Amino acid sequence: MIDFERVENLSHARCQARNRAALLLFLAVFLACPCTVLAAVLPDDRTDTLYHYYDGGGVTVRGPALLVRKSVADTVSLSGRYYVDTISSASIDVVTTASPYKDKREEFGAGIDYLHGNSLMGVTLSSSKENDYQADSFGLNVSHDLAGGLTTVNLGYSQGYDIVQRVDTSFEEDINRYNFRLGVTQVLSRSLLLGVNFEGIAEEGYLSNPYRSARILGASLPERYPGTRDSQAVAVRAVQAFSSGSRPVISSLRAEYRYFRDNWGIRSNTLAFALQRYFGDRVLGEARYRYYQQSAASFYSDNFTTEMVYMARDKELSTFTSHSLGYKVSWKFLDRKYSFIDRMSLNFTHDYINFDYQDFTDVRTGEAYSFGANVLQLFVSAWY
């Protein structure tokens, strides 16, 4: 009699051993490259002051954002981030089950990057707070240049702790989140770059929204979510430079594809393109398009017919597609040194995103829900 469990365990162990061996082989191959020396560099010193505005689906979110980065002693880069969302929400979730509300979310972030030889090591801390949600996280990142800077390997880990509450009761639950990131960027030619990124996320805790309800045969009941969510995402990106007679790079085309899957049954594909072009010495224009498609979570339904262990009616877990078209204009209004500032630019972006849900109904109309949103950004960047 064949012991299937034992066979499965053995082959699993063998599989793990093979994977470990392949991994070591790749590390050996990477380190063995006899190519030349080109030091990694700290990120640019810069300050960005941004104002953002989102309007769509009955929700308006606006606010400032600030990023300040300064290097110290040639080997350390310090950064600070401040971000605010002021939300006026009359979204479909809110309007069909409650009443419109206003909220404000504030987020602070800080980071230190340390350059040592060909490696850049960084630590980041971040804390976000609104009246019914608190999220804190810390992250570690290591980026290493190999092959004379032609290959860069990136490893990242972050850990987050969220506290979920309700404004009207003493409800309180929490979430633990772990992210693992791995990426490789490779120079393929004088004008072509390729990047591959992987990110695995493990979450456990209260993963649903305490205000949202599911529907069963038309009636409401509280949602029931699994206590964990594990996901993996793989993305491939490439950038191609185009030259003209007057300059080595006049324009670039960026393409990216991301595949996402999780253990809630969601599968999604993202495809995006961006074309950037210089117009003269001071103006840079960008046109971008993004396509997103996802299939619903296995425990999602617009209207359940029987009671299940897990039930969700969050439209973010439904089957939908979204198309996004946008443009960005950057004007380098200061292109020579002024006091301690090297250059400054003024930037404006506008993206229009259309969401088309296949199995989420707008209960006000009985039709499948869809909406469009405008996302605007205006920001000033200074380099020093």
Which of the stretches 94-102, 214-222, 238-246, 356-364 binds other proteins when contact is defined by CB under 8 A? 238-246
Tell me, what amino acid is at 66? L
Q: Which residue from 37, 68, 25 is spatially nearest to 50, judged by alpha carbons?
A: 68
The least distance separating other proteins from the CB of residue 219, rounded to whole angstroms, comes to 20
- Does 228 engage in binding with other proteins (CB under 8 A)? yes
Question: Could you give the angle at the alpha carbon of 124 between the alpha carbons of 122 and 127, nearest 5°?
Answer: 180
In the set 98, 239, 346, 368, which binds other proteins (CB under 8 A)? 239
Taking the C-alpha atoms of residue 181 and residue 197, their distance in angstroms, rounded to an integer, is 7
Which positions ≥6 away from 1 have C-beta within 8 Å?
A: none
Strand partners, 262: 231
- Does 155 engage in binding with other proteins (CB under 8 A)? no
In the set 143, 301, 322, 361, which binds other proteins (CB under 8 A)? 322
- Does 77 engage in binding with other proteins (CB under 8 A)? no
Question: Could you give the angle at the alpha carbon of 177 between the alpha carbons of 316 and 83, nearest 5°?
Answer: 70
In the set 7, 10, 13, 33, which binds other proteins (CB under 8 A)? 33
Strand partners, 312: 300
Which of the stretches 94-102, 219-227, 359-367 binds other proteins when contact is defined by CB under 8 A? 219-227
Do the beta carbons of residue 130 and residue 166 sit within 8 Å? no
- Does 232 engage in binding with other proteins (CB under 8 A)? yes
Classify residue 25 by burial, with Cβ atoms within 10 Å: 0-12, 13-18, 19+: exposed
In the set 292, 304, 357, 360, which binds other proteins (CB under 8 A)? 292
- Does 167 engage in binding with other proteins (CB under 8 A)? no
How crowded is residue 130: how many other Cβ atoms within 10 Å of its Cβ? 16
- Does 145 engage in binding with other proteins (CB under 8 A)? no
- Kindly write out the interface string for residues 13-32 of this chain, putting x where it contacts other proteins by CB under 8 A and - elsewhere: -xx--xx-xxx-xx-xxx-x
- Kindly write out the interface string for residues 103-142 of this chain, putting x where it contacts other proteins by CB under 8 A and - elsewhere: --x-x-x-------x------x-xxx-x-xxxxxx-x-x-
The strand pair at 228-242 and 192-205 is best described as antiparallel
- Helix or strand or coil: residue 66? strand
Question: Could you give the angle at the alpha carbon of 371 between the alpha carbons of 365 and 376, nearest 5°?
Answer: 150
- Kindly write out the interface string for residues 171-200 of this chain, putting x where it contacts other proteins by CB under 8 A and - elsewhere: ------xxxxxx-xxxxxxxx-xxxxxxxx
- Does 346 engage in binding with other proteins (CB under 8 A)? no
The least distance separating other proteins from the CB of residue 88, rounded to whole angstroms, comes to 15
Q: Which of residues 248-277 bind other proteins (CB under 8 A)?
A: 248-249, 251-252, 254, 258, 260-266, 268, 270, 276
- Does 231 engage in binding with other proteins (CB under 8 A)? yes
The least distance separating other proteins from the CB of residue 232, rounded to whole angstroms, comes to 5
- Helix or strand or coil: residue 314? coil
